[in-house]
Structure 1
Amino acid sequence: MTVPAPGQAIPIEKVPNLRDLGGWPTPDGAVARGQVFRSAEFSALQGDDATSFGALGIRSVYDLRTEDERAAQANEVPTGVEYVVVDILADHSGAGPAQLSQVLSDPKAAEEMLGDGKAVKIFEDSYREFLSLPSATAGYRRFFTAVAQDAKRPALFHCTTGKDRTGWAAASLLMLLGVDDDDVLADYLLTNEELLPSLKPTFDGFAAAGGDPELLQPVLGVRKEYLDAARDEMTTRYRDIDGYFSTGLGLDAATIDQLRSSLVESS
């Protein structure tokens, strides 16, 4: 039996960017498979897709989206699955990841807002806010505290496209578990392979309205610079990943130890 590669997509059409965080090597073994999943939103989950999703055995879903995002695309969560709202950007104001979709229907407004490198700067600033916003700190604390509990897993976490708020949650968890920095980045960048093809209608619609599709690449995809910005903010504030989880998020040693012991399989 062939063992899936780390980060390999789980092919459920109505759950874009769905991936198991397991399989990435750590100093003591590998991240446990089948325990923590990441994805984009899944408001259209039904039929065979719902059956396939149910087969993953997910016990709890953590929705990192804003109130407006949830209202626009309400989750379809299988019966018996705990659904928890963890609004990472509740304290955010301005044009961050959750707000940029509003300009995609207006190429002129998009050019003014996103052109000349402004999109990259917007996202770098937003990633730094994952380390500074009170709502982000509270939200990630609640999520990681829950995921440390065996009864809450298998667990899935997601935002709208599963790339920014979800991307930082995945990257920071993998870092805590001892995954090599290059592998953390590889997992993060897989979004460009797994998500962008599903967004072709968005690119095509923007082009049809007179926009340059290249303008959307830094908005709808991910870049190393974004994760680097979050890492830089983390080390500036908390020195390292242990400081982030203990001092930044306020998790006690027992919770951090439980995350590591339950989510790493010995080799």
Structure 2
Amino acid sequence: MTDHDGMASGPDFRDDQTMQDRVLPLRGIHNFRDYGGYAARGGRLRRGVLWRSGQHCDASPEDLDVVHELGLGTVFDLRGDSERAANPCLRHQDFAGEVLFHPGETASEHGRAVHEEAARGVVTAEDARKAMLRLYEQLAYREVLVGTFRLYLKTLATRDAPSLLHCLAGKDRTGVAAAIVHSVLGVHHDDIVADYLLTNTAGDAEARIAAGARHVRSGFGRSMDDAAVRVLMGVEAAFLDRAFKSMTERHGSVEGYARDMLGLTPEMLAGLEARLVA
């Protein structure tokens, strides 16, 4: 159901079991899940064509087999060049899709993910929360990330094969990108936030947090307390709200941001709707 503005009129797919059914329980790839299926403007997002995850450098052969069966035609890699060099993603031997990214660095700390960059100077959970809010306020305006977001929208609007969107942890850069697509397609805000927050429970969240803790502590010392690590390695609705607020203040809406910064045209939007909404 949609309202008069074309936005889905109420939250959808919100019970815990249905949300967890989106998740592929893989051994070495964290946060791998389907972000389709939500009520949208004019119908419902297709299932099995929009996938998101963390990086694949630790994928098991069994993981690669499962991912291969999805028939991915495009992989959008939101990491920076140094991240890709340090942690090259494993692919199935028969992978024939295309990996797309804008060259350069998406984090200001060479070789690090954006949440690791935010960890500098963090000791407490409150420090971490403030750092993540600062990060999200300007995340959607980083030049290299904007370049990959542009490729992401253009490709989704013109290709029919399933796609995968990922960064290192699949939560911040990936979370904002997925939320932009949800928003321009009229997914209800409550569902956008619910999908974003699924990072906190998708798959083996404790393993993901433990892996992240090693990275942030090795780079920024061991004075950071456990609660701070959990904030850095998780997501909160306030983070995404801060990103959306930044877009809205500068462009009037998330859709305005997509138009002004990512080159979303009416023709591209029609392509997105034709390929992603049933």
TM-score, with structure 2 as normaliser? 0.81
Shift in CA distance, 73/91, structure 1 to aligned 2, threshold 3 Å? closer
Q: What does the per-residue CA deviation read over 1:57-98, in whole Å, with 9 as the maximum and x for residues that have no partner?
A: 1111111001221122101123312122246x7265369971
Q: What does the per-residue CA deviation read over 1:206-252, in whole Å, with 9 as the maximum and x for residues that have no partner?
A: 7xx67531111110000111101101011111111321221221222
Residue pairs, 1:75-86, within 5 angstroms: 75-78=89-92, 79-86=95-102
Contact 2:30–2:53 (Cα < 8 Å) also in 1: yes
1:15, distance to aligned residue in structure 2 (A)? 1.8
Question: Is 1:181 the equivalent of 2:189?
Answer: yes
Give the corresponding residue for 1:223. Answer: 236
Give the corresponding residue for 1:129. Answer: 138
Residue pairs, 1:1-267, within 5 angstroms: 5=18, 8-78=22-92, 79-86=95-102, 90=105, 92-93=107-108, 98=113, 101=116, 112-115=121-124, 117-151=126-160, 153-194=161-202, 196-202=205-211, 212-265=225-278
Shift in CA distance, 91/198, structure 1 to aligned 2, threshold 3 Å? closer
Using the TM superposition, name which of 57-66 and 194-203 deviates more.
Answer: 194-203
Q: Distance in 1 between matches of 2:213 and 2:177?
A: 30
Runs of 4+ in 1 over 6 A off after TM superposition: 203-206
Contact 1:203–1:213 (Cα < 8 Å) also in 2: no
Shift in CA distance, 11/203, structure 1 to aligned 2, threshold 3 Å? closer
Q: Distance in 2 between matches of 1:159 and 1:203?
A: 13
SS in 2 for 1:131: helix
SS in 2 for 1:37: strand
Contact 1:238–1:248 (Cα < 8 Å) also in 2: no
1:6, distance to aligned residue in structure 2 (A)? 5.0
Using the TM superposition, name which of 220-229 and 242-251 deviates more.
Answer: 242-251
Backbone CA RMSD of aligned residues: 2.7
Shift in CA distance, 197/91, structure 1 to aligned 2, threshold 3 Å? closer
Shift in CA distance, 37/246, structure 1 to aligned 2, threshold 3 Å? same
TM-score, with structure 1 as normaliser? 0.84
Q: Distance in 2 between matches of 1:81 and 1:198?
A: 29
Contact 1:14–1:42 (Cα < 8 Å) also in 2: yes
Number of equivalences:
252
Q: Distance in 2 between matches of 1:203 and 1:91?
A: 18
1:49, distance to aligned residue in structure 2 (A)? 1.5
SS in 1 for 2:179: helix
Shift in CA distance, 70/167, structure 1 to aligned 2, threshold 3 Å? same
